[in-house]
Amino acid sequence: MPHQFRLHRVAPTLAAVTAVATAVLGLTLSTRAAGGPGPDAGGEGWAGAGMPEAPAGRMLLGAPGGYPVTGIDVSNHQQDIDWKKVADKGAKFAYAKATEGTHFDDAEYRDNLSGAKRNGVYFGAYHFARPDEGGGRSQADYFLDRAQYTNDGHTLPPMLDIEWPYKWKGKYVADSPCWGKSKSDLVKWIRDFTERVRERTGSATMIYTNPNWWNPCTGKSTAFGRHYLFVSSYTDKVSGLPAGWDHWTLWQYANHGKLPGDQNVFNGSLSELAALASNPMGPMPKLVVGDWDGDGTMTAGLVTPSGEHWRWRLTNQRGTAPVAAGGADPLLTPDLDFEYGDVEKAPIVGDWDGDGTWTPGTVDSEGKRHDYYLANGFRPGPSDVHVGFGDIEDVPLVGDWDGNGTFTPGTADADGKRHDWKFTNSLVDPKTEVKLSVGDAEKTPVVGDWDGNGTWTPGTVDNDGERHDYYLVNSLTATTAEIHLGFGDVYTVPLVGDWDGDGKFSVGAVDASGTAMRWLLSNNLLGGDLPDLAFRYGETGILPDPQPSPSPSPSASPSGTPSASPSPASASKPIPSAGPGSPSPSTSPSAKPVLNQRPVVPKM
């Protein structure tokens, strides 16, 4: 199915980085395309690639009756696409492959994204899953770093294409049909992927699959029914669904037709499709941390869209020692509530004038460089400072690199084996003044003042284990990490900041698995499991898990061999999923969803 997609505006993706409360605007920006295929495949997967008879498939001259909203999914296999012609022939939506595994970037993705949106086609990106190549979390990051996802009202939820292995040069790319994995391994893989998508975008995942793969390979898992279903069924109607779903959102009914690529329909009206693109799950707030009152202590903040601008809700309250089991940590309230900045730009925070108080800013990463728009107060209106710095392919950061109290831009380049860092000490005609190479490029960049000397230095966070592992350096000439610690469950959002005003940054985590975000902060760099401060601040937007119905409707589970005609679907016309008032899917009930963010580096 879908191939690869890049991130659109960096805003949603940046969310994670925003959370990294370090002056590093650890936005999840798109990175350079991979150099080539992996050792065992050339990125040949597409939606339906694993079905043995998919190439033969079937062709219909028109969409199935009763579904007027039609669309396509495409990849590099379709090569150049005339998107004006696609729109003129009635397609209202499209998914395009962005990535596969951790080795393949679809060469046609950017053109597909721009062409579809330019011609008014609702557009989404998809990732062809390769459970044989690495974890779901790392593949979600690989995908989102390239997909250019943005909640702009025209972008569909990120899609995961999970199906049978396909053949490459006469051999299956992995053990078929379940990628050589156990049922529990695959369920965990899918959960890790969908939770990471939720963490970084605020959206549920569109899952493309087929009951004949899903039911036997996941053990009929019902854990993902609150995500969107894109079902493949090359038949006249959909008569069987994967376990866990009672209706579908998209249906791939043929693998070729009058339009390029696979032929699809949406289960609803055009207005319902627009609603899906406008509110894929109600993105959770982006997290920021900073010193909003100049007292030397960093506290929490939430940033959410409000029309065309960002709404900032910042608190100067700190919380208390963690409450014992069965109790409730204090619920904080905002001390500042205002709007600032274009929602198409990524929110950041920092001390732009050296007065000790952190204020808002945004970063536009759509041109040839990163453009910063910085305010020296808490108010709407134009920026006080506009400065451009850094290669658009690199991650934008901000921090105090020379200890003078004023924050300035920087970047981290993850194109090689190590992060290449570049910093400037000026907000006027900035030039690169500091360069260093340190930190595994596979890890997330963060910055902060780890030793309290007033100068910010780099670090990285590894989010692939059971906890967040930090690797930090105390100088701008270091080549290896000087501090290593672990803190925070991997399903939380990592943070860095100075929580007690001692001048030294430490770590923290935000647990977004419930309806309220729980902030857990440590005042040291020793690691461990026990926070020094805990509080609740911000709603996650996660709905309580629905109560099971007395007699749940059975979900189809024909676990036969894959065929080009996956079992047909429900007898009655399914209800369109994910309208604003409908029970739109969310992260799987059994998993801990994370915010749409990467490590929260104090947004500087």
* Enzyme catalytic residues: 73, 161, 163
Pairing of strands 20-21, 600-601: parallel
What is the C-alpha separation between 571 and 237, in angstroms, rounded?
Answer: 8
What is the C-alpha separation between 246 and 552, in angstroms, rounded?
Answer: 10
Pairing of strands 159-161, 206-209: parallel
User: How far are the Cα atoms of 63, 276, 391 from residue 249, in angstroms, in the given order?
Assistant: 15, 10, 39
H/E stretch holding 184 reads: helix 183-201
CB 99 within 8 A of CB 76: no
Please state the φ and ψ torsions of residue 338, each to the nearest 5 degrees. Answer: -155, 170
First to last CA, the chain: 39
Angle at 242 between CA 236 and CA 245, to 5 degrees: 100
Q: Which two tokens stand for residue 481?
A: 């990490």
**291 CB contacts (<8 Å, ≥6 apart)?**
297, 298, 299, 351, 356, 357, 358, 498
User: How far are the Cα atoms of 16, 239, 295 from residue 248, in angstroms, in the given order?
Assistant: 30, 11, 53
Instruction: Give the DSSP letter of residue 475.
Output: S
What is the C-alpha separation between 149 and 113, in angstroms, rounded?
Answer: 10
CB 149 within 8 A of CB 95: no
Q: Which two tokens stand for residue 302?
A: 């939430």
Task: State the virtual CA torsion across 377, 378, 379, 384 in degrees, nearest 10.
Answer: 30
H/E stretch holding 277 reads: helix 270-278
- Compute the half-sphere exposure of residue 87: CA atoms within 13 Å on the CB side of its CA: 13
Instruction: Give the DSSP letter of residue 360.
Output: E
Give SS3 for 528: coil
Pairing of strands 336-342, 346-350: unpaired
